[in-house]
Amino acid sequence: MPHDVLKSHYPVLIIGAGINGCGTFRDLCLQGVDCLLIDRGDFCGGASSAPSRLIHGGIKYLETNEFRLVKESAMERNRLLRNAPHYVKALEVVVPAKTWFGGLWDAISGYLGLGGRIKERGALLIEVGLRIYDFYSRKVQALPDHRFYNKSALREDFPAITRDAVAAGLYHEGRVTHAERLGLEVVLDGLAAQPGSALATYTEVSGRPKAGRFTLKDTISGKTHSVTADVVINAGGAWIDKLNDSLGITSHYMGGSRGAHLIVKHDGLMEALQGRMMYFGCKDGRFNLIYPFFGNALVGSTDISQPNPDEAHCSAEETDYLLGMVSEIFPNIALTRDNVILTYCGVRPLPAANGKNIGDVSRDHSIGRDLLPGTQVPVLSLIGGKWTTFRAFSEQSCDAVLSLLGKPRKVSTVDLPIGGGRDYPRDEKSRASFT
């Protein structure tokens, strides 16, 4: 949107058009609040464009005892399957186990706070985890319960799988085919609901605000525009602390984690997957994943501390690590760099690790609160969050803003379809004839 059509004041200024910023924009617009959403790049151009492209319930968060997050994630996954069926599809997931009882003591120790860290997931532990997962999913049922593979059935369906696998669980997650388009539809829904709101991509805050007044600069034309706001939302993701610093606020909220992924071309790997996702533990204790993605295979992901998000890239070492771990689950499939057609990475907007192993840092979301220096203008920093839970986090952020503005919530987004999901057929037969 050209700067010359922007107003000089908005009740809410949202800086950052990743999925958390987009979702909060939509929710506030639905409540009748004029908002200005800006981003120095494009919609969902940062970490929101570089995930594993899964809408998942977070089964691995059970290992860090984040039961509330698992419950929320499972419910929000199911809601997205219903509210955005044009982009979010069900995906069968296989979790193989190489032992029957591995990891039980570590799981018990971790639950009791004795410091256990799970490095191996046996069949019994996987079965317990999937039962908990099913339980949390039933309140917003959208997917069938899990089932279990014995060794012979597993070998029959997946002949290429490692001979070390003794059993496996099969359950369902969601995958988002076009994440960036979904984010754009979220924003457009907000703009349609509140025409007094506005969007400005390729726009950054230039210099520190003076007396609560922001100078916005169009990074393409160089033109500037001055604006004030009653509430500021910092939705800068892994850049939150950097953005706060540019506003004159000192914060140490963030501890980003780099997640690298590969897109690989290999016919044998595609055949081995049989259209499903493999979610499996590796020798280093990490869970990794492989699944079909538009005719190729998506392989991920790493989890490495990334203090400076501007320096993030998929290193040669990460590429080799991801290629090598494929052979842990499919020993007869050897990938090389020649099979890689794309590498990408994003920086997860995790809270500060404060000495924790990066893999143990919470994937939950929270809101940091500050004041714009020299003013009483609240600055809310959206810490954490992910694609799956963006609606719930946006709801939380919106409610925080409504409280500050003294306004009530008018519309719930719980069952609200997104964009093209409004008229999208709900069953496969209807979808086949849908135009």
Q: Are residues 231 and 281 in the same domain?
A: no
What is the residue range of 7's domain?
3-47+179-254+362-430
In this structure, is residue 191 part of a structural domain?
A: yes
Q: Distances from the Cα of 170 to the Cαs of 3, 71, 99, in angstroms?
A: 51, 19, 16
Predicted confidence (pLDDT) per residue in 342-367, tens digit: 999 999 999 998 877 887 788 899 99
Residue 384 Ramachandran class (φ > 0 left, ψ -120 to 50 alpha, else beta)? left
What pLDDT band is residue 4 in, cutting at 50, 70 and 90? low
Predicted confidence (pLDDT) per residue in 12-59, tens digit: 999 999 999 999 999 999 999 999 999 999 999 999 999 999 999 888
Strand 198-200 to 203-205 pairing = unpaired
How many domains does the chain fold into?
2
In this structure, is residue 355 part of a structural domain?
A: no
Q: Is pLDDT above 80 for 432?
A: no
Residues counted in the chain = 435
In this structure, is residue 128 part of a structural domain?
A: no
What pLDDT band is residue 3 in, cutting at 50, 70 and 90? low
Q: Tell me the two tokens of residue 80.
A: 């997205």
CATH number at residue 418: 3.50.50.60
Terminal Cα distance for the chain, rounded: 31
Q: Quick one: pLDDT at residue 185?
A: 98
Q: Tell me the two tokens of residue 221.
A: 């034309």
Choose the final residue of a domain: 314, 348, 382: 348
In this structure, is residue 118 part of a structural domain?
A: no
* Least confident residue range of 166-175, 293-302, 366-375, 424-433: 424-433
Choose the final residue of a domain: 295, 326, 348: 348
CATH number at residue 290: 3.30.9.10
Q: Quick one: pLDDT at residue 284?
A: 81
- Of 46, 375, 41, 3, nearest to 216 (Cα)? 3
Residue 431 Ramachandran class (φ > 0 left, ψ -120 to 50 alpha, else beta)? alpha
Choose the final residue of a domain: 348, 377, 394: 348
Q: Are residues 270 and 249 in the same domain?
A: no
Which residue shows structure tokens 């829904």?
A: 189
CA–CA gap between residue 121 and residue 108 (Å, rounded): 13
Q: Quick one: pLDDT at residue 278?
A: 97
Q: Quick one: pLDDT at residue 1?
A: 55
Q: Is pLDDT above 90 for 11?
A: yes
Predicted confidence (pLDDT) per residue in 216-266, tens digit: 999 999 999 999 999 999 999 999 999 999 999 999 999 989 999 999 999
Q: Identify the residue with better confidence: 419 or 60.
A: 419
In this structure, is residue 203 part of a structural domain?
A: yes
Residues 6+ apart with CB under 8 A from 334: 327
Q: Are residues 262 and 343 in the same domain?
A: yes
Strand 296-300 to 203-205 pairing = unpaired
Predicted confidence (pLDDT) per residue in 317-330, tens digit: 999 999 999 999 99
> For residue 32, what is the enclosing H or E element?
none
Q: Are residues 238 and 226 in the same domain?
A: yes
- Which residues lie across from 292 on neighbouring strands? 297
Q: Quick one: pLDDT at residue 130?
A: 93
